[in-house]
Structure formats: C-alpha cells, structure tokens
Amino acid sequence: MLVVLNGCRLQLPVSRTVYQPIPSIAFPVTTHALLFEAYNLSEDMSILSTHDDEVALFILFCDTILFMGDTTYTVAPSNLERPLETTLHDSSIQFDVILFEIDSRRNPADFLPIIKLEGQTLKQLYRTSDYQGIRELLQEDDVLFYKQVSAAQLVRGVEISGAHKGDRYHYSVRLLTND
C-alpha cells in the first residue's frame, strides 16, 4: 500500500524537540520502512519489573492512524523495522507520534478507541505532565511520548527519552527513505 501525503487542514503547534543536525533532505521523499530502536529500556531498574519493555508505537496523520506497531524489547540496544511505504511531498507535513508503555494485558488495537475518542485530551495530559489524568484514562499503561513532529524530523529521526517512575528510557523512531 502506498500512501501519498500532501498536507492537512488542521495544523497544531509544533513541539520544540532538539534534533541532531544532519544534511538537508530534498523533498519529495519516498519511504520504505519505519525503524524503531531501543537504547535504554524503561523497565530495567526495578527488581519487581519484568525487565522487558512492552511498547506500542502509533503514528497519526490528520487523525488517521498511519502506523501501529508493538514489540517487546528484552535487551538494549535493539531495533524493529517494519514496512511503511509513503511518499512525503512536503517537509512540513505534521505527524503525531505516540509511544505507550504497556503494563496491562492490552494489545495495540485496544488503544485505538482511546486515541480516536480521547486523543486530544491525552495529548494535553502528556503536554502538561498530568500523570494522574493519564492514569485515570489509561489505568495501568503509560504514555512515554506524545508529540507532533514534521516529516523532516521523522525522516531525520525522533529521539524519545526521559525518565518514568524512576527509570530512564531512550528510543528513536525514523522513516527510512529509498533515496
């Protein structure tokens, strides 16, 4: 399946994430895969944890889910590459990137109604670090990342890092181009 993305009527504010400088990318670009890498797992510190990261990654374009994937990481560094054929005509096209840490028995499809019905609420809760609100919405599961990024940023690579419940984590997500 090939998806052509030209733009969206709804434009939300762009997050201010710092990215490593790389040479500019000439658009349009065609991608063939999405690469999701783990450098530091979010559940590797506590003696009570599984020491496995069960995560679900979603990429949305104009409220449409373009990518949904899940994996369990048991060791870092690790990576997961999944096919994603897309043509990006404009470097400023905006995507929402969401990373859930799954602590319950949910599967990624269980997050779809939450994203569809409560996506903007969840984004606001994440943006304001309202962990209690996130807990009320997701129960056992957590949001490690929910930001809007441009196509250029996604092609360069988006770093997802921080600390949650006293444990540091570091992932990256990147669209791999055919060029």
pLDDT above 90: percentage of residues in the chain? 34
pLDDT, position 73: 55
Question: 142 pairs with which residues across the strands?
Answer: 101
Round to whole Å and give the CA distance between 67 and 102: 17
Domains of the chain: total: 1
Round to whole Å and give the CA distance between 62 and 150: 12
Q: What is the pLDDT of residues 40-84, one digit of tens each?
A: 765 444 555 555 668 889 999 888 888 888 776 555 567 778 888
The tokens for 153 are 């940023």
Is it the case that residue 29 has pLDDT exceeding 70?
yes
pLDDT, position 88: 86
Q: What is the pTM of this model?
A: 0.78
The reply to whether 147 falls in a domain is: yes
pLDDT, position 66: 85
Round to whole Å and give the CA distance between 73 and 85: 24
In the sheet with 64-73, reading across from the earlier edge strand, the strands are 64-73, 53-61, 94-101, 142-150
The reply to whether 19 falls in a domain is: no
Question: What's the mean pLDDT when you consider all of the chain?
Answer: 78
Q: Which domain holds residue 57?
A: 28-177
The reply to whether 12 falls in a domain is: no
* Closest alpha carbon to 111 in 164, 43, 60: 60
The reply to whether 14 falls in a domain is: no
CATH code of the domain containing 165: 2.60.40
The answer to whether the Cα torsion of 53, 56, 59, 60 is positive or negative is negative
The reply to whether 11 falls in a domain is: no
Q: What is the pLDDT of residues 75-129, one digit of tens each?
A: 556 777 888 888 888 888 899 999 998 888 888 889 999 999 999 999 999 999 9
pLDDT, position 81: 83
Is it the case that residue 14 has pLDDT exceeding 50?
no
